[in-house]
Amino acid sequence: MNRLFFALAACTLAACFAVSSAAATTTFSYEATYVEPFGDCAPGTSCGSASISHVGRSDNQVVVFNACGFGCHLRTVTFGDGSTLVIRIEDQPSGFAFTSPGNSGDHGRNCFPGQPGNPQFLDINETILGGTGALAGASGSGSGRVALHGCIAIGKTSGTITLP
């Protein structure tokens, strides 16, 4: 009888531990806006501000183009408390496949090399690879679009983030 009692107690304790471990993760939806003016960044990069709902706002985000292959970029967002979020961006359907509505692509001013006129649009997928500080162990994914207008790129994405 004692063995049965101890076996039941051990199973109950293991179940409680499993439930508390699962409850420790938090998954939420996010919407993000990235604003990147042309220039003032190191070659092969873009930089600017980021606003990610339920996470925060940053004036320090940098994208390194082709860091993980052609059309695959890495974005690092650093928040005021020093926490970072690292995001892989994949151009869709292929690397730097910007499109322009109608025949507006040859008109207007566009500061971005290789992009004639404006506006220009690019669909993207993003994968949250991790983070540091309050965002350590972050994961998730999303999708959205980058728009080039004149001398500014604006990315808008949405998806889910899971924090441990």
Domain segments of the chain as ranges: 25-163
On average, the pLDDT of the chain sits at: 85
The 8 Å CB, 24+ separation contacts for 100-105 are: none
Average pLDDT over residues 15-27: 59
Angle at 93 between CA 88 and CA 96, to 5 degrees: 70
Whether the per-residue pLDDT at 115 is higher than 90: the answer is no
Average pLDDT over residues 40-44: 92
pLDDT tens for each residue of 127-160: 999 999 999 999 999 999 999 888 899 999 999 9
The partner residues of 130 in beta bridges, in order of sequence, read 86
Whether the per-residue pLDDT at 104 is higher than 80: the answer is no
Contact 154, 34 (CB under 8 A): yes
Q: What percent of the chain has pLDDT over 70?
A: 77
Whether the per-residue pLDDT at 78 is higher than 80: the answer is yes
pLDDT for 101 equals 77
pLDDT band at residue 109 using 50, 70 and 90 as cut-offs:
low
Q: What is the DSSP string of 49-77?
A: EEEETTTEEEEEEEEETTBTBTTEEEEEE
User: Model-level pTM?
Assistant: 0.81
Average pLDDT over residues 28-43: 94
Nearest-angstrom CA–CA distance, 12 and 6:
10
pLDDT band at residue 13 using 50, 70 and 90 as cut-offs:
very low
Q: What percent of the chain has pLDDT over 90?
A: 63
pLDDT for 15 equals 41
Residues in CB range of 162: below 8 A, 6 or more apart: 25, 26, 27, 138, 139, 140
Task: Provide the b/e sequence for 13-34 (b: ≥16 CB within 10 Å).
Answer: eeeeeeeeeeeeeeeeebebeb
Higher pLDDT, 149 or 85: 85
**N- to C-terminal Cα separation, the chain:** 40
